Structure 1
């Protein structure tokens, strides 16, 4: 029987609900980096400037036909997932993935189908950038959801068969030529995201759509077993053994997963790199835990256009402290969620 979620018309009435606690961050970032001016290292990336195209009229962005006409290669509300269409992992590999997640707080896996999907999504993000549209709007397209739905076997082995997709996702286009960087060092939920045995209550899945390298801002992580305050009441007072920091370079076809207690961040880009780092991420939680963010979207969500649009607007509002967007976009998001 299909595990796709039912329409969310009723639950989306309260879609403006924002998570009750943001990322666990200390008052100062001095434990990792010297605080810098807005344009300096680890600065919050701004929306890439438009190139040869005029900015898309904000009013047009609520019309489904606008997205179909502007992004004809992409699909909206088609067949997001069949129950037998998933990235199959061997039992031994699944056991290793679960153990690495428990010990180091993260793992890296591969899915050949992501190469094709990454090509489509990176093209869409580039086109969106040329129209001054935030990358997160690619979650209007089936392809973004299919990337994560394909990992259902691995996610079920970690979080249980009834795991839930959370209303928390983002997309990035980090441009080295604009001096941009990924999100600053942070933990997400912190120790509250771990069970007593050290296994996660919720995880983040992060997918590079283009090559991610130290030169264009790949992810970095402090492995859980190299972090003396990981999972403790002292987790806000970072104690970093710098050689233990691990870069996570990746390429299309790779995907990464980490729990919400590990310290992680996106790197500062190099001016000598010319290729933007594009990526998408989505959060998941155990089905037997209370919702950490509402509304939960089911195991294999297949939302209609209006529901996806409301979800995208929710992300713009709940992550505005992490990603600078024009006031017009924040106003549009507020209007959409109502």
Structure 2
């Protein structure tokens, strides 16, 4: 059992998922092959056209499936240990997924890309009435200036097949919403025929401007597998920070910083999904334990 006290021991997490790594700032940075628009990774022109029209993009077969399989295994181990899937961000490989996507991020956000301290991971289990997050926008303010300068962007990466049966992502395309008399503020205002389901599998990445109305579906009890996925948010650092602390894409936080940062997400997102009271209390105690250990 991982308690708030032994959670601050890096060896506990390394033993739990030995196929994954926690570098903790030691040794050289891992050299990753980035996905670029000049090597078949994505068509920047076509991507931008759809993004600025509909508010999102979905690229298939862009990430290394073998690396994603390790992360899926890591999340399954966490869940089997009654731990939140979000703790996968303790491991370097979760941050490396998004580091690989730097060319995609700079295509939309420019060279000064910063990570927002907003992230989560999901294990939407069909056996337990699993569902994704309800309809929402990641940011309530302006996500772009005009139709060609993006301020902030969310990326979402499936680690298993995400289908309508197990709760894939759904969006209200921006060009449809523009036809409404006013911006949607409640799900009942969305015309059902305007909803777009976006199934995707391992290797894909989906991105959306942070003012896009979107949600995760509810899993059928007959679905073949859970929907397992990661999400992380970014901003163009040339604009004023959208959070108190921005993170560096190429330098993930050290172990205790990661642990405390993850634990703080529980309180932040408990309104988005049902979290066990004991799990939220555990996270609060972990934040305190990290603070004490940092001051030793």
- Structure number with greater CO (CA < 8 Å, separation at least 6) is 1
Cα contact 1:165–1:300 (8 A) shared by 2: no
1:228 CA displacement: 2.9
TM score, norm. by length of structure 1: 0.77
Question: 5 Å matches for 1:121-136?
Answer: 121-136=71-86
Which of residues 300, 313, 326 in structure 1 aligns to 2:276?
326
Does residue 291 of the first structure (1) align with residue 241 of the second (2)? yes
Which of residues 27, 37, 59 in structure 2 aligns to 1:89?
37
Does residue 59 of the first structure (1) align with residue 9 of the second (2)? no
Cα contact 2:4–2:286 (8 A) shared by 1: no
Which of residues 259, 270, 275 in structure 2 aligns to 1:309?
259
Does residue 209 of the first structure (1) align with residue 155 of the second (2)? no
Cα pair distance change 1:314/1:229, threshold 3 Å: farther
Q: Which residue of 1 aligns with 2:293?
A: none
Cα deviation code 1:190-238 (max 9, x no counterpart): 35222133643101100000000000000001111111378x9744256
Cα pair distance change 1:112/1:193, threshold 3 Å: closer
1:329 CA displacement: 2.8
Cα pair distance change 1:282/1:307, threshold 3 Å: same
Secondary structure at 1:330 match in 2: helix
Does residue 179 of the first structure (1) align with residue 129 of the second (2)? yes
Cα deviation code 1:263-306 (max 9, x no counterpart): 11001111111311100000000111111113100232332111
Which of residues 89, 103, 106 in structure 2 aligns to 1:153?
103
Q: Which residue of 1 aligns with 2:292?
A: none
Does residue 259 of the first structure (1) align with residue 209 of the second (2)? yes
CA distance in 2, matches of 1:178, 1:332: 22
Cα contact 1:202–1:285 (8 A) shared by 2: yes
Which of residues 175, 178, 185 in structure 2 aligns to 1:236?
185
Cα contact 1:80–1:302 (8 A) shared by 2: no
CA RMSD, 1 decimal: 2.2
Cα pair distance change 1:216/1:324, threshold 3 Å: same
Gaps of 5+ in 2: 289-296
- The size of the alignment, in residue pairs, is 282
Cα contact 1:80–1:146 (8 A) shared by 2: no
Runs of 4+ that moved beyond 6 A:
none
CA distance in 2, matches of 1:178, 1:243: 28
TM score, norm. by length of structure 2: 0.88
CA distance in 2, matches of 1:81, 1:247: 36
Q: Which region of structure 1 is more displaced relative to structure 2, 106-115 or 140-149? A: 106-115
Cα contact 2:176–2:194 (8 A) shared by 1: yes
CA distance in 2, matches of 1:114, 1:205: 16
Q: Which residue of 2 aligns with 1:139?
A: 89
1:103 CA displacement: 0.9
Q: Which region of structure 1 is more displaced relative to structure 2, 296-305 or 191-200? A: 191-200
Gaps of 5+ in 1: 1-54
Cα pair distance change 1:292/1:237, threshold 3 Å: same
Cα pair distance change 1:119/1:102, threshold 3 Å: same
CA distance in 1, matches of 2:226, 2:186: 32
CA distance in 2, matches of 1:98, 1:287: 20
